[in-house]
Amino acid sequence: MTVTMGLQERVVAEETWNHLRRGDLAAVENSLKRLTPPRPSYYLLSGFLQLMRGENKAATDSFYLVLKEIPRLALAQAGLAQAYLNLGDEEAAFSSLREVLKEEPDNNWAKKEFSALKTKRTDSLREAAAAALKANNLQGAKEALLQALHYSPEASDLHLSLVRLYRQEKNLPAALTHLKAAIDLSPQDKELLRIYADTLLEAEQYSRALEALERLLELKPEDKEIQAKLAALKDKLGIVELPSQYENIPRLEAISREDLASLIAIKFKGFLPPLSEPPPIIVDIATSWASRFILQAASLGFLDVYPDHTFRPKNIVTRAEMADTLVRLLNFFRQRGKKFIAQIPPEKIILPDVTPEHAFYASVIEAIAYQLMELSADKRFNPERPVSGLEASRTLEVLLALVK
């Protein structure tokens, strides 16, 4: 704020602030007369003067005038929070305190007030939800729990209480939303994951249920019930055909987009998140043996879905497209903290058959720089040549080794 002030305004503003700190309200009022015409400094100081006089409504008006000019000024947000606390408007105070902490995470006053208000409001709303349930007022209970999540979004018990209510109403999509939120907070909670998988099965969201059951089996590998559910679901989805389809890929002279999606999903399984929610809309993969893997690869941006919502799973993958997919994988893992070192300076790579005008030029150069793909004996890249199953498998293994 001070960088917009002239020298005289700075002097008067500092003098007024010092009067405020001493509690000399008459001196503050006299100094404010010298800050004309009114500017943010005038309204800020006026707001604190009004706070000290107990004129809380007027103070909120003054602080809003400051924030209209300087929206991220934490001092004005702090004054606004105090005014709202004095007025008993806890929701507005909470919002203002949160804004203070965005700009000043170590502001001890704001942290203390924010924490106290968060606990008070969450506990109060928990009690309100319990009272509503006792009176068989399900709608009131839901509203109270949702308000409580506004104050404490990290509280798993609130999500689970809502899950129970939504399941009672057979509102499975809403129940799944809160189950997913609870699992994100406690990813190793086996019981939560079991409820999530069962709810997905009940909602007939079989692809996501498969992901959940596989994760659950990793946590409880000896659980016979989970094994049986997983086997039944795989049988229902026709995934029993997967081994022969997948194992045949290295023998293919040219792989398709569905083959590449399955290679990525299976080889990088331990490093990729579960299927995104909602998954991308794809209209032509219902009969593909790799539909689940296509959804995962597309949702993570490794392979594109066309504007008409088709994936074209049988299209053959060229070497240029393979390079583009490899670079997308590289960038994905970079964003998650992995570090890769180029083996060849990109500026030294000159290809006779891939010019800077080529749509995949940057990806081809990067794939070569990181030694993920090789050139032919005559130093050509052959961008339009189909990728064989063996080449694709070996290339992805090289990247997997770098990731590991």
Residue-level pLDDT at 211? 84
250: phi > 0 → left, psi -120 to 50 → alpha, else beta; which?
A: alpha
Report the alpha-carbon distance of residue 125 to residue 332 in Å, rounded: 40
Residue-level pLDDT at 239? 54
Report the alpha-carbon distance of residue 126 to residue 145 in Å, rounded: 7
Question: Roughly what angle, to the nearest 10 degrees, separates helices 74-87 and 108-134?
Answer: 40
Query: Given this chain, do its domains 2-105 and 154-237 carry the same CATH topology?
Result: yes
Contact 325, 264 (CB under 8 A): yes
Strand pairing partners for 316? 256
Domain 2-105 in this protein, CATH class: mainly alpha
Which stretches in the chain have pLDDT values below 50?
A: 240-241, 243
Average pLDDT of the chain, as a whole number: 91
Domain 154-237 in this protein, CATH class: mainly alpha
Residue-level pLDDT at 61? 96
Residue-level pLDDT at 241? 44
Residue-level pLDDT at 78? 97
Contact 310, 283 (CB under 8 A): yes
Q: How far is CA 130 from CA 135, 136, 151, 174, 241, in A?
A: 9, 10, 17, 20, 50
Please state whether the predicted TM-score (pTM) of the whole model is above 0.75: no
Question: CA 49: distance to chain centroid?
Answer: 42
Residue-level pLDDT at 208? 83
Contact 160, 182 (CB under 8 A): yes
| 157-166 LR contacts (CB < 8 Å, sep 24+) | 158/122, 158/126, 159/185, 160/192, 161/129, 163/195, 163/199, 165/138, 165/141, 166/142
Sketch the domain layout of the chain as residue ranges: 2-105, 154-237, 245-403
DSSP state of 271: G
- Pull the structure tokens for residue 149: 């999540």
Question: CA 185: distance to chain centroid?
Answer: 13
